Structure 1
């Protein structure tokens, strides 16, 4: 009888030990799961705190981001030439970049569709300027010499398209002479008072401030819109994003877009404060920025409206020279819509 009781007690003790062991194991599992959750939270927090790397060009594209430049959520690289930004996008050194519209299409093709366009950020910033007051309409350009920079790029194709749409043959009705730099265009205008120059903002403002004989005669953006019926616009710049970054950080990208739209509104509504920031970041001089902002067509257009205006513009470039858009107009996947 005693042996049976002893055996029973031993069995109870074994069961208790097993239960305690099981509880211990479960407790260890819980601790491990908690540790994993805490680490995941830390990783997510670290990701959200990592600044988004943004590239922009000196001029209207960077000017539109003025309110964001001192925000530690973003790490900006301001470049002089698009050639400096292209390798940064391809190599993943920047996540988002403001680039010329046609270059965005080229990047889409060359990266095997690993780039998306988020928004149009700059419309037409090209203007025809002259000494005097002789040019009042496109028809007045006939027989004139037009000095321009940007041969083989957007300025050339935009000018040709606008002239053709208004019944002027770029090859026979006008003489177009291309210079390598904007400063050479201004110098040519000084040497030939009867000529016309094609210049972008904010360089137009800088030139007019230095020479009060110069004046803006025609706005290429207005001429483009009056010569087309497809809803396209003369799109100068867009914001693009690496597709991989977009897929990994959708919330951060949406927050960036909200901040960008807010910044564009700020720049257009409070030019004085915006010019102060723009000058501090050596994008352009403050006194130039104050006068140039209203003429720089800084916008934030996304979604369907972006697609309509940009696709029409790219189709026009395709018709003149397919290489300017990478050989083909991007498909629907190019356009991001939230």
Structure 2
């Protein structure tokens, strides 16, 4: 678990301010601490950055922990073990439409998906027709996006593809590196890690970026809003000042990460379990793009409707209403 630097490690002068700051937050009704979570994907990087920065006058102390399966994220948010989490944008919609107290803070393109392949006959997405492909999170967003893009281009994913599944992106990465899969779907930074490791062994896999394919197929010029940050509704309603400060902090963290990829990679390498240069290469190739949820509502609804074409349950059966989107 990544924990924010505690005030005990700060200077004596800063320590002298701690009781005053704590009392100020208590008087304002702000929470004493926030538990943050996210997957080992770039969507989590802004939260990792906030958790590393230390408490401030606007934000309380925070802890950051990792999940590797969306079901764990859902359980943590529902139980209250976590108040804020990076995760799939559709997962937030599902929870909200089921009547659970979740709100969406923002969306970002962290975790960009790519097909990597050693098969020389695959140079573009439609070349996967008739091929074996390895996906992950069966029935969840990555699987559905591939099926949607295939169907829109005349490929029946059930009869024209031979699909197998890994339990996680990490398992998919290992299967690709070990040669057990020749064509695999991977998110960032795992895809960049695979490319770099393949280069060391003397090979250069073809990369097909799914977000580029999404823009080409749908005509939507904005990034595929796969990920985002969600929070418990009680945090938004009972502590709006804290949520506003959190949104501002996330925005600043994104700007800093994009401007300082080497430092950001060094700071977050342990969370990802990757060497910092790999994460740095990923961030340099795919900078994070972020929008507050309310501003991204139109693009999110376009994305949600695309998912509903494949399976309405992927967004909880309907489009979330206005209250779902925080400004």
Say what the alpha-carbon RMSD is for the aligned residues.
2.6
Q: Hey, what's the Cα distance between the residues in 1 that align with 2:263 and 2:25?
A: 37
Distance 1:305 1:214 in 2: 39
Q: Shift in Å at residue 219 of structure 1?
A: 0.5
Matches of 2:286 and 2:37, distance apart in 1: 19
User: What secondary structure, in the 3-state scheme, does the structure 1 residue paired with 2:226 have?
Assistant: strand
Distance (Å, rounded) in 1 between the aligned partners of 2:24 and 2:249: 25
Once residues 180 and 73 of structure 2 are traced to their aligned partners in structure 1, the CA distance between those partners, rounded to angstroms, is 36
- Who is 1:128 aligned against? 115
Q: CA deviation at 1:221?
A: 0.5
Residue 286 of structure 1: aligned partner: 276
Corresponding residue number in structure 2 for 1:322: 312
Matched residue of 1:75: which SS? strand
Structure 1 stretches lacking a partner, 5+ long: 1-40
**Is structure 2 residue 92 aligned with structure 1 residue 104?**
yes
Q: What CA distance in whole angstroms lies between the structure 2 residues aligned with 1:249 and 1:281?
A: 28
Question: What secondary structure, in the 3-state scheme, does the structure 1 residue paired with 2:192 have?
Answer: helix
The 1:46/1:201 distance shift into structure 2, 3 A limit, reads: same
Candidates 54, 62, 65, aligned match of 2:44:
62
Compare CA radii of gyration and give the structure with the larger one.
Answer: 1
Q: Work out whether residues 214 and 220 of structure 2, in 8 Å CA contact, stay in contact via their aligned partners in 1.
A: no
- State the Cα deviation string for residues 313-335 of structure 1 (Å, max 9, x = none): 11211221222222332122211
Q: 2:255 pairs with 262, 265, 268, which one?
A: 265
CA apart distance, 1:258: 0.8
Q: Which moved more, 1:284-293 or 1:208-217?
A: 208-217
CA distance in 1, matches of 2:67, 2:49: 20
Q: Which residue of 1 aligns with 2:190?
A: 203
Contact 2:118 2:206 in 1 (8 A): no
Per-residue CA deviations over 1:147-186 (Å, capped at 9, x if unaligned) read 2222111111000111122332323333222233443465
Task: Tell me if the contact between 2:258 and 2:287 (Cα under 8 Å) persists in the aligned partners.
Answer: no
Structure 1 residue 105 displacement after superposition: 1.1
Contact 2:308 2:315 in 1 (8 A): yes
Greater helix share, 1 or 2? 1
3-state secondary structure, aligned to 1:169? coil
Task: Give the stretch that moved more between structures: 279-288 or 323-332.
Answer: 279-288
Deviates more, 1:122-131 or 1:277-286: 277-286
Residue equivalent to 1:115: 102
Q: What secondary structure sits across from 1:162 in the alignment? A: helix
Q: Normalising by structure 1, report the TM-score.
A: 0.78
Match of 1:147 in 2: 134
Following the alignment from structure 1 to structure 2, what is the Cα–Cα distance between the partners of residues 294 and 46?
40
Out of 319-328 and 197-206, give the one that drifted further: 319-328
CA drift of 1:225 comes to 1.2
